[in-house]
């Protein structure tokens, strides 16, 4: 808990320091309209960063504090995947505005159904899919599919041709605030909490988060669920 509080404080302190710095500049210097616009844009970006962090922290604390998902609610996977796809395509265009872009392939929804919490699953799936978009350079591809896995399990697999992760990092993937590529995480609006949320959601449904990755070639992140 002490480490967690220290991490959260650190994550909030950085954007707050930048924001306070800009406020001071605007109070003490007379700026041209263009400079003002520029500073306000940078301030808005820092405020957004803090907002996203607080949202992810609230999601995590809700997951920790709430009863296990209702196993009688059947999730409409087609609708859920359509929402994730629309979000991922928007993010991909935003992040690759003038280059070749990424190829996003969403396979048709599966014939099976999943019992659990739709909102939790949506949050877990969109974290994996959006990460694939964020950590794959322009020209790369991302494939999302539901499939049967061994022992009667089913899984959502998200495969990308992006940066990949070296073996020494894999065991720590899913820890809160653990980042392999710190600068890429920051640049692309990361909080360091997305995979912790995905892992938690999988576990609350009796499943797990799995990662297979090769540095420089890409990764497959999966949410695996029991039959």
Give yes or no for residue 181 binding ligand ADP (CB under 6 A): yes
Tally Cβ neighbours within 10 Å of residue 186: 15
In three-state form (DSSP H/G/I as H, E/B as E, the rest C), the secondary structure along the chain is CHHHHHHHHHHHHHHHHHHHHHHHHHHHCCCCHHHHHHHHHHHHHHHHHHHHHHHHHHHHHHHHHCCCCCCCCEECHHHHHHHHHHHHHHHHHHHCCCCCCCEEEECCCCCCCEECCHHHHHHHHHHHHHHHHHCCCCCCEEEEEEEECHHHCEEEEEEECCCCCCHHHHCCCCCCCCCCCHHHHHHCCCCCCHHHHHHHHHHHCCCEEEEEEECCCEEEEEEEECC
Site for ligand ADP in 35-54 (CB under 6 A): none
Residue 56 Cβ vs ligand ADP, minimum distance, rounded to whole Å: 8
Contact range with ligand ADP by CB under 6 A, out of 29-37, 95-103, 105-113, 177-185: 177-185
Residue 115 Cβ vs ligand ADP, minimum distance, rounded to whole Å: 26
Which positions ≥6 away from 111 have C-beta within 8 Å?
none
Residue 53 Cβ vs ligand ADP, minimum distance, rounded to whole Å: 9
Nearer to ligand ADP, 89 or 179 (CB): 179
State whether residue 180 is helix, strand or coil. coil
Among 180, 201, 209, 223, binds ligand ADP (CB under 6 A): 180
Residue 68 Cβ vs ligand ADP, minimum distance, rounded to whole Å: 23
Site string for ligand ADP, 106-135 (x = CB under 6 A): ---------------------x---xx--x
Give yes or no for residue 165 binding ligand ADP (CB under 6 A): yes
Give yes or no for residue 185 binding ligand ADP (CB under 6 A): yes
Site string for ligand ADP, 198-227 (x = CB under 6 A): ---------------------x--------
Give yes or no for residue 179 binding ligand ADP (CB under 6 A): yes
Nearer to ligand ADP, 18 or 170 (CB): 170
- What CA–CA distance (Å, rounded) separates 152 from 191? 34
Total residues belonging to the chain: 227
State whether residue 217 is helix, strand or coil. coil
Residue 151 Cβ vs ligand ADP, minimum distance, rounded to whole Å: 25
Site for ligand ADP in 144-163 (CB under 6 A): 160, 162-163
- Kindly list the residues in this chain that would bind ligand ADP in the complex (CB under 6 A): 127, 131-132, 135, 160, 162-163, 165, 173, 179-181, 185, 190-196, 219
């Amino acid at each position: 808990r002490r480490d967690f509080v220290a991490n959260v404080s650190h994550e909030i302190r950085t954007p707050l320091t930048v924001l306070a710095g800009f406020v001071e500049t605007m109070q003490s210097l007379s700026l041209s309209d263009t400079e003002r616009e520029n500073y306000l844009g940078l301030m808005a970006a820092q405020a957004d960063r803090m907002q996203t962090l607080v949202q992810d922290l609230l999601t995590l604390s809700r997951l920790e504090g709430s009863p296990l998902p209702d196993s009688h609610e059947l999730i409409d996977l087609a609708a859920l995947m359509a929402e994730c796809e629309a979000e991922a395509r928007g993010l991909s265009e935003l992040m690759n505005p003038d280059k070749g872009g990424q190829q996003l392939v969403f396979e048709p929804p599966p014939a099976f159904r999943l019992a659990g919490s739709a909102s939790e699953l949506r949050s877990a799936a969109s974290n994996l899919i959006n990460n694939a978009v964020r950590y794959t350079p322009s020209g790369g591809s991302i494939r999302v599919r539901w499939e049967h896995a061994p022992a009667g399990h089913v899984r959502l697999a998200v495969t990308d041709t992006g940066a990949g992760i070296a073996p020494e990092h894999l065991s720590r993937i899913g820890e809160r605030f653990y980042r392999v590529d710190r600068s890429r995480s920051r640049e692309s609006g990361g909080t360091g909490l997305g995979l912790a949320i995905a892992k938690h959601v999988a576990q609350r449904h009796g499943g797990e988060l799995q990662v297979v990755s090769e540095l420089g070639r890409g990764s497959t992140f999966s949410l695996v669920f029991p039959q």
